[in-house]
Structure 1
């Protein structure tokens, strides 16, 4: 077993909350280790609806503070990562059988004004019979509303937080589980095991932050031998991917008969992402998958509004995630709060900060407030800093992606707009780290299909902890949606035999 020195904060969980906490803490000058039992964002944080949003429907449950904070964070994140987060307009066809029009208008008015909106356009009313956004909608829906929220590449958001944490001094360990944590001599003794190499290490830490998401209770009880009066409620959310079936860049939000809302978002250019369901979940989080009833539910909700009818065979892919929501005792899964709660246990002068709940939009604020809870433990740490700090690749003047993209095209005139868009949207100002001084596509190395070239793969392995073909194709990128099965198999064969230098 390898013995490591004392660290200030040991973070368990490589989803959005864990990566955000590690980044925040490292930027305050603390010595940080982040460990994740699988790949970064392999769980819930890569299986979301890909939105940075205030949560329009949460207004119905009087979650005004949560919505306001999320709307404020929406603008903060839009400035921090304009390459992976961008504005999107959502069209909401009004169904008189569900929520009344006055209630929808009131909700949208609050949505426009609660969070001090600055960059995004406000709500407008649509005549679906005349406005082009109404073209794909059934004729029976004559009125609609259009409002703003933001799109995000969720898995990349996690990875960029981890990259920033590492560049600020944190040690990031993937495929490494915390197998035991025991309080000893006013601190923690933590044993980890790497599932790939089998290596075990022992760390000493002053404090643990448990951001394990669906596994938070397992870390409290089985790993740390501790207790908490708080619990998470696991709620399953499933999505489907289909070919895009409308013109235009706008998304749609439809109300179903059960008053749930379903997002229909443009995805990866020629596809659509549809979700989500809300079902209480009792199984192992690792085993979650969309079932046929959920797929049929989503198809039915869409077909209630659109002229073009989706069929089961139109579903290209499906995925499901387990949301670890703070259990506030609400019976309806849709009514369970999306807010977060901290539980700080300081037995034996060895603090354990457990994180319950949360959502992607508020991860930065969650991390900041979590560190504020630890201020008395680390009085030497520096002040809040993340609100105005760009994430890796997002350091564009005035957070202006379009100007950056035009500059990227000028720097690489040989690059197609779609390839430049792929690099620009995933890597932003760090695109040069991949492309370098290449004078043409031949300078990017082997081509595996679509926009996947060897140069990008080598970067992801050396700089972003990609260890498997799936890490590259599904989480660091979405190449799996654009490569044939034969091309993916060919890439996997090459990956297995390539001499790739893994991230430290």
Structure 2
């Protein structure tokens, strides 16, 4: 299969007319572009930086957040989020998979009976049978005891769903492009003003691209710029909106604290709710603090503060038998979430605001990993009548790129047990490319799923992949990431598309940057 030219500098013709121009290449923007393109609308997406480079790649990675949501959201919203997790398990099983959580029963924990009721409710709200139900654990002799203080004897266990958030953004952008959308990263919208195309109201949009200025027109403009949505509305569109509350959620990554695949959750008792997830095989991801911040945080939106890092180390140490300090932290990141005051701070799950005075404008306020697909579907449903006709929703059971394993495994298994199907996919790929070591092939399968042959091509030996730019990272994969997935720099590859930056030292990371240069 030939690669698309994601790196091709050719731009749309000047003054081209689109049905919809989506501003913002985070998860909401890419999800909306994908849904609209799949319904046959002409879609252009413009993102000022790299796709998913801001809050969309700095989440907790959890699809629905488990018990942390039960006392914070309406039950219908929790059920919707649980349903979305199961849908994603089937649509992208290479980047989405179940995760078993342990809830240690500490002296400061909420009462066991209360946790048990929450877990029963969590099980009841889950729409299918893809995830195991909760159970009570005796920690003595159980692997889950490993990182916990010796005095703890009991715990509960339940299931959640984990996703590679940065790749989820990329897969939505890839699918949007595959269905006809034009995706332009590193393209800033400088101005947008109402105009007409004959008798049809539309937007005249000025873009700043790497190749120079570009003018485009669109019948509908979508503001999906996330934490910057109010700034875009005020400064580019000329509206007057109150600045939203901004909440920063910070996370740290430390060397792995245990040798099994369970995660841990400590619900808020006398302290702060906290989780610890196995991450990238060698590490543990710990989060998250929730701190309200000012507009200055928009200057460094994915950076955790020194205070946040110190707080997470201190809180984690209260629950573990080892003491973590900031010197143990190998990476940290943060996500900003807006809570617009006009919506009463209710934008956590995403709100849509459609204006039809003049050319149509759809503004997206808030949103989360667990609701992005449903939010995109609602947006496309809203815009259909504006564009002339309602068109059928289609994403509910559609695979994301790389998520359809049916050509590699038994199709019945692929539909009934996506995680077992993934294991079969790995075995099939190992047979197809026997020169790759098992760990490298599993890494590629986790990132690219059934698209691994697009990465490795017709290679029969390691030398067919080109030089090793860094350990395990060959030129062939870098060509793929540049030409197919819009990667422009080492950071795009190392910290978003592959997470290999965690494994590499400074010289190895520099070698990747030098390759791009």
**Which TM-score band (shorter chain)?**
over 0.9
Contact 2:35 2:176 in 1 (8 A): yes
Please name the residue that 1:499 is paired with: none
Contact 2:381 2:391 in 1 (8 A): no
How far has the Cα of 1:329 moved from its partner? Answer: 4.3
Alignment match of 1:395 (pick from 384, 388, 404): 404
Match of 2:272 in 1: 260
Q: Is contact 2:45–2:184 with CA below 8 Å preserved after alignment?
A: yes
The residue number in structure 2 matching 1:191 is: 206
The CA distance in 2 between the partners of 1:231 and 1:312, in whole Å, is: 33
Aligned to 2:218: 205
Alignment of 1:236 onto 2:245: no
8 A contact 1:236–1:321 mirrored in 2? yes
How far did 1:326 drift? 4.6
Shift of 1:201: 1.1
Question: Does 1:341 pair with 2:351?
Answer: yes
Deviations 1:62-97 (A, max 9, x none): 421221110000000110000011111111112342
Name whichever of 48-57 and 235-244 sits farther off: 48-57
Does 1:411 pair with 2:432?
A: yes
SS at match of 1:216: helix
Q: Paired residue for 1:489? A: 510
Per-residue CA deviations over 1:424-455 (Å, capped at 9, x if unaligned) read 00001100011112112211111022321111
Name the CA distance, whole Å, in 2 between partners of 1:384 and 1:430: 25
Please say which of residues 301-310 and 145-154 is displaced more in the overlay: 301-310
Mapped to 1, the partners of 2:373 and 2:340 lie a distance apart of 18
Q: Specify whether residues 62 and 106 from structure 1 end up closer, same or farther in structure 2 by C-alpha distance, changes over 3 A only.
A: farther
TM-score (normalised: structure 1):
0.93
Tell me how far apart the structure 1 counterparts of residues 270 and 58 of structure 2 sit (CA, whole Å).
23
Whether the 8 Å contact between 2:207 and 2:213 is mirrored in structure 1 is yes
Give the corresponding residue for 1:217. Answer: 230
* Pairs aligned (count): 487
Partner SS for 1:3: coil
Q: Which residue, out of 492, 499, 509, partners 1:478?
A: 499
Q: Is the Cα–Cα contact under 8 Å of residues 30 and 381 in structure 1 kept in the other structure?
A: no
Measured after TM superposition, the shift of residue 471 of structure 1 is 0.9
The 1-side partners of 2:340 and 2:91 are apart by 27
- Structure 2: tracts of 5 or more residues without a match: 1-10, 406-413
Q: Distance in 1 between matches of 2:175 and 2:22?
A: 15
Moved over 4 A (4+): 256-259, 326-330
1:430–1:25 distance in 2 versus 1, CA, 3 Å: same
TM-score scaled by length of structure 2: 0.91
Q: Is the 8 A contact 2:204 2:215 kept in 1?
A: yes
Secondary structure of the 1:342 match is strand
Asked if 1:421 corresponds to 2:442, the answer is yes
Could you list the per-position Cα deviations for residues 147-195 of structure 1 after superposition, in whole angstroms to 9, with x for gaps in the alignment? 111221111100110011011110101111111111112111111102x
Question: Within the alignment, does 1:315 sit opposite 2:336 as a pair?
Answer: no
- Confirm or deny: 8 A CA contact 1:296 1:312 kept in the other structure: yes
Instruction: Please state if 1:97 is matched with 2:111.
Output: no
2-structure distance, mates of 1:326, 1:131: 45
1:337 offset after TM fit, Å? 5.9
Q: Deviations over 1:13-69 (max 9, x none)?
A: 000000000000000000000000010011100111112125421211242122111
Shift, 1:467, TM fit = 1.0
State the Cα distance separating 1:410 from its structure 2 match.
Answer: 1.2
* Alignment partner of 2:283 out of 246, 271, 278: 271
Q: For residues 240 and 14 of structure 2, what CA distance do their matches in structure 1 show?
A: 27
> 1:64 and 1:192, CA in 2 relative to 1: closer, same or farther beyond 3 A?
same
Q: Deviations over 1:203-223 (max 9, x none)?
A: 111101111001101111111
Q: Please give the alpha-carbon distance, in whole angstroms, between the structure 2 residues aligned to 1:485 and 1:67.
A: 42
> Corresponding residue for 1:306?
320
8 Å CA contact 1:24–1:386 kept in 2: the answer is: yes
- Residue 3 of structure 2 aligns with which residue? none
The unaligned stretches of length 5 or more in structure 1 are: 331-335, 497-504
- Provide the residue aligned with 2:304 in structure 1: 290
For the residue of structure 2 that corresponds to 1:402, the secondary structure is helix
State the superposition RMSD in angstroms: 1.8
Counterpart CA distance in 1 for 2:367 and 2:281 is: 29
Residue 357 in 1 paired to residue 369 in 2?
no
Q: Residue 272 of structure 2 contacts residue 315 of structure 2 at CA under 8 Å; is this kept in 1?
A: no
Look up the match of 2:5: none
Q: Is the 8 A contact 1:12 1:211 kept in 2?
A: yes
How far apart are residue 273 of structure 1 and its match? 0.8
- In structure 1, what is the Cα distance between the partners aligned to 2:339 and 2:94? 29
Q: Does 1:121 align with 2:132?
A: yes
Question: Which of 292, 301, 305 pairs up with 1:280?
Answer: 292
